[in-house]
Copies of this chain bind each other. A is one copy, B any other.
């Protein structure tokens, strides 16, 4: 593993550049993986970008370009001549070129499409039709297609002739005369085949798992995790092969979706930029609206407390346990919600499981609530030395609030999924607010009953 840090790399490249040692600079860059080189490019001043980029070997240049953030891509494109831009666009895979077109402003898009050759332009326009987060939006059309009646030898010949510009040839897809997908055969199977005259239709696996162009990208990515594929074919409504999604795209999607869920669960509007790439305004925009919304929804808890001011005035010690009770409810609720949300995200839980969810959640809630109540009762009597009836109020509230919180926590994400709202948003932030109000209502009502207030 290259143990050199990106900072050291930056300094080294800057020194070589200052000393105009361009040949050494080129030699060093050639030995670096594209993502590391891209990280260095990210922080270059705009005028240095095209200079260093021209020194990159041609095939590395395209890989580095793909790894750059849209902002840096645009700065770089602005510094390139039309001929240089054409060289880059020709080297890009069609799915990466499509992503680029989606991110750039109109005038840059015009320049890019103007430089792309007609076939590439047609493929880009084709891919632009699909929603960005669907299988159609993330797939590439550069795949290796074979026919069922080819022999292994003919297939290998076809791969040698046409494989160069395919995104992957590790899996080849077998289609019939109407381009309908009928099987998949791995390069491994072709290479290891004992009999090179065997027809592909005997060698291929005809139980091929495919997705439709409209399948959500997260569902597609989960299939990779589940089945261990390297690529999944994408078919249209007539089962005609239109593209493939490769595992490198799936891995990024899974990481991004997990980050997005974690952000939402913690009341943050998601951002696809790394932390230090976000501006103050990005950070503010993703955090302030949620904090504001939650603050305003806390009005309900204030209203409840103000409605029971007399009870609180009569037994002032009740106030002391408000944070403990609302936190216990909030923690119990987010335990359930986050479990269900993650289970749905990875495909372990389906919305129709709701009755089973509620049955499990209520039982575990009673167990947890019971344990907490018993421990707390002892603590209140022995350490806090408060009166037994008040301790009883606190502990009964604890049981009820944990039961209710875990039930609400189980229902919310399933309800969200059915209403086509993002379940992750229902986690910690919203459940805390809901549970606060219900906890306080339970607390004061039990107090009024047991303490005769």
Q: Please tell me if the beta carbons of B280 and A360 are within 8 angstroms of each other in the complex.
A: yes
**Alpha-carbon gap, A337 to B428, bound state (A):** 14
Interface string of A367-378 (1 = CB under 8 A from B): 110011001100
A309 within 8 A of B: yes
Q: Is the CB of A247 within 8 A of B268?
A: no
Q: Are B379 and A296 in contact (CB under 8 A)?
A: yes
A274 to chain B, nearest CB (A): 4
A332 to B289, CA, bound (A): 11
Chain A 267-307 interface 0/1 with B at a Cβ cutoff of 8 Å (1 = within): 11000001110001001100110111011101101110110
**Minimal beta-carbon separation of A312 from chain B (angstroms):** 6
User: What residues of B have a CB within 8 angstroms of the CB of A291 in the complex?
Assistant: 328, 331-332, 335, 368, 371-372, 402
The answer to whether A305 and B319 touch across the interface, beta carbons within 8 angstroms, is yes
Which B residues lie within 8 Å of A302 (CB)? 320-321, 323-324, 384
On chain B, the residues within 8 Å of A428 by CB distance are 266, 334, 428
Which residues in B have their C-beta under 8 angstroms from that of A398? 295
Beta-carbon contact of B2 and A343 below 8 Å: no
Q: Which of A73-81, A107-115, A125-133, A204-212 contacts B (4 or more CB under 8 A)?
A: A204-212
Q: Nearest B residue to A193 by beta-carbon distance? A: B160
Q: From A13-21, A82-90, A253-261, give the one contacting chain B.
A: A253-261
- Residues of chain B lying within 8 A (CB to CB) of residue A340: 275
A58 contacts the other chain (CB 8 A): no
Q: Which residue of B lies closest to A328 (CB)?
A: B295
Q: Across the interface, do A228 and B248 meet the contact criterion of CB distance under 8 Å?
A: yes
Whole-angstrom CA separation of A61 from B212 in the bound complex: 29
Would you give the shortest CB distance from A68 to chain B, in whole angstroms? 14
Q: Are A324 and B349 in contact (CB under 8 A)?
A: no
Evaluate whether A268 and B323 lie within 8 angstroms (CB atoms) in the complex, with A163-B192, A255-B254, A364-B284 already known.
no
Q: Given A250-B251, A323-B440: A207 and B298 within 8 A (CB)? A: no
Within 8 A of B (CB), among A337-376: 337-340, 342-343, 346, 348-349, 353, 356, 360, 363-364, 367-368, 371-372, 375-376
A247 touching B251, Cβ below 8 Å: yes
Contacts of A225 in B (CB 8 A): 251-252, 255
Which listed residue, B163, B169, B288, B299, touches A368 by the CB 8 Å rule?
B288
Complex-state Cα separation, A247 to B230, whole angstroms: 8
Query: Are A251 and B254 in touch, CB under 8 angstroms?
Result: yes
A145 close to B (CB within 8 Å):
no
A33 interface contact, C-beta 8 A: yes
Given A35-B227, A292-B375, A302-B320, 11 more pairs with CB closer than 8 A = A170-B170, A170-B230, A258-B258, A275-B340, A276-B353, A276-B356, A288-B368, A294-B327, A302-B384, A305-B323, A428-B428
**A interface with B by C-beta (< 8 Å):** 1-2, 31-35, 156, 159-160, 163-164, 168-170, 187-188, 191-192, 207, 209-212, 215, 223-228, 230, 247-248, 250-252, 254-255, 258-259, 261-263, 265-268, 274-276, 280, 283-284, 287-288, 290-292, 294-296, 298-299, 301-303, 305-306, 309, 312-313, 316-317, 319-324, 326-328, 330-332, 334-335, 337-340, 342-343, 346, 348-349, 353, 356, 360, 363-364, 367-368, 371-372, 375-376, 379, 384, 398, 402, 427-429, 432-433, 436, 440
6 nearest A-B residue pairs (beta carbon): A298-B324, A258-B258, A266-B338, A228-B248, A274-B348, A301-B323
